[in-house]
Amino acid sequence: DIQMTQSPSSLSASVGDRVTITCRASQRISNFLTWYQQKPGKAPQLLIYGASSLQSGVPSRFSGSGSGTDFTLTISSLQPEDFATYYCQQSFTSVWTFGQGTKVEIK
Amino acid sequence: QLQESGPGLVKPSQTLSLTCTVSGGSMSRGGYYWSWIRQQPGKGLEWIGFIYNSGSTYYNPSLKSRLTLSVDTSKTQFSLKLSSVTAADTAIYYCARTVTIFGVVTYFDSWGQGTLVTVSS
């Protein structure tokens, strides 16, 4: 199975900060990379698909980049509603796998 | 919209059965697979498997020997059965709609709210 490793596992940031989360795949996955946001007690929500395509309705402060093995989710200006856990997920192989998650907390 | 339903408590060695009801659209329309994902309390996400309208399935190999997915498009429902459960199967179970692009299954674009299933005697 392809292993997805996110870094950092958690971070503390302030409203207005630029936040970057990294996801690394154990082998090349082209752009078959999706980002989700999960708030406590809620189901995950789709943010970015195809590594860089913004899902309809998602604020433009979210962006994704990367291809191959290294991917990045960036929040350009962190808002109060963005404090959550973020997961990457690969769909390159027939066994889909998620990263372990990155928890974004309030500083 | 998707909504999971089923028992919240299952005894060890028994079979866990859940149903996901899809509302607001036809399941028969192509372009989507229908998936199950789970999350152990306080942990990350684990893909269980997905099924197409035709009944074609893809299972996580780690669960394949115990897992059965089925679909009933007339009822706009799809279901999960996981046999011989243990405490390790205690988790929140989510159903999700899964998008295909040019026939390639890609990502989950809509999720149910999730249902907690506890395995305990």
pLDDT digits (tens, 9 = 90+) for B5-18: 999 999 999 999 99
Instruction: Measure B92 CA to nearest chain A CA, in Å.
Output: 10
The pLDDT of residue B116 is above 80: yes
> What is the pLDDT confidence band of residue B4, given thresholds at 50, 70 and 90?
very high
pLDDT value for B103: 80
> Across residues A48-52, what is the average pLDDT?
96
Q: Which residues does chain A have within 8 Å of residue B106's beta carbon, measured at their own beta carbons? A: 32, 34, 49-50, 91
For an interface test with A, give the residue of B1, B45, B48, B92 to mutate (most A CBs within 10 A). Answer: B45
Dump pLDDT digits (tens) for A60-104: 999 999 999 999 999 999 999 999 999 999 999 989 999 999 999
pLDDT value for A98: 97
Average pLDDT of chain B is 94
Question: CA nearest B116: which of B90, B81, B84?
Answer: B90
Sheet architecture: strand order including B16-22 = B2-5, B16-22, B77-82, B67-72
Rounded CA-CA distance A91/A47 in Å is 15
Across the interface, whether the CB atoms of A43 and B111 are under 8 A apart is answered yes
Across the interface, whether the CB atoms of A91 and B106 are under 8 A apart is answered yes
Name the least confident of A11-20, B28-37, B44-53, B93-102: B28-37
Report the relative pairing of strands B115-119 and B9-10 from DSSP bridges: parallel
Interface residues on A facing B, Cβ-Cβ cutoff 8 A:
32, 34, 36, 42-46, 49-50, 55, 87, 89, 91, 94-101
Amino acid at residue number B13: S
**Percent helix, strand and coil across chain A, each rounded to 5?**
5, 50, 50
Residue B6 makes CB contacts below 8 A (sequence gap 6+) with: B16, B17, B18, B19, B115, B117
Average pLDDT of chain A is 96
Residue A4 makes CB contacts below 8 A (sequence gap 6+) with: A23, A24, A25, A26, A88, A89, A90, A97, A98, A99, A100
pLDDT value for A20: 98
Across the interface, whether the CB atoms of B44 and A94 are under 8 A apart is answered no
Amino acid at residue number A39: K
Angle (nearest 5°) at CA B52 between A4 and B8: 70
Dump pLDDT digits (tens) for B73-107: 889 999 999 999 999 999 999 999 999 888 888 89
Determine how many CB atoms are found less than 10 A away from the CB of residue B121. Answer: 9
